[in-house]
Amino acid sequence: MTDAKLVVFAHGKESGPWGAKIQALAEVAGDCGYAVLSPDFSDLSDAAGRVPRLLEQIPKKPGELILVGSSMGGYVCLAASPVLKPRGLFLMAPAIGLPGYERTDPAPQAERTLIVHAWQDAIVPAANVIAFAQRHQTQLHLLDSDHRLLNVLPLICLLFREFLRAGEK
């Protein structure tokens, strides 16, 4: 499986492994030649338990690995990135700088990181994500949406497709 291209999704606290965003992005990943894995974390309410589960789900030699996380799943991908060293991190409304998380500023460990966030996010303040992106010099797209980002899903799909294609160059 060393030549495989794999996208692994980590869903948010109140969603599931095949919510609307993951379904749409999984279609994009498949179109770009990636296999898709979307583990179910819905029985775990805290990020600390989700990180080891994510690590267990990854094949020993995944080939090109892209981690995609939404909300708490974004934090989980960030926290797992030092171990997995993915080629890319694509984070949507990542739970950064919030109380109750083991680390408030987990450093991204990937060749490329892109964050999509919403100006009207009432769960993860945009200021947290802007400061994080500035500290870690990551690409950031702030969109006119709320935490769920559903009204801008077509744009997110375009950004994800370009993110995957840029990694092939």
**Of 166, 168, 154, the residue nearest 28 (C-alpha):** 154
| φ/ψ (deg, to 5) at 139 | -70, 135
The rounded distance, in Å, linking the Cα atoms of 66 and 162 is: 13
- Our count of domains for the chain comes to 1
> Is the model's pLDDT at 3 over the cut of 70?
no
pTM over 0.85: yes
The mean pLDDT of 116-125, rounded to a whole number, is 97
Residue 33 has a pLDDT of 95
Domain CATH for 28: 3.40.50.1820
The rounded distance, in Å, linking the Cα atoms of 14 and 74 is: 13
Strand partners, 84: none
Domain of residue 103, residue span: 5-166
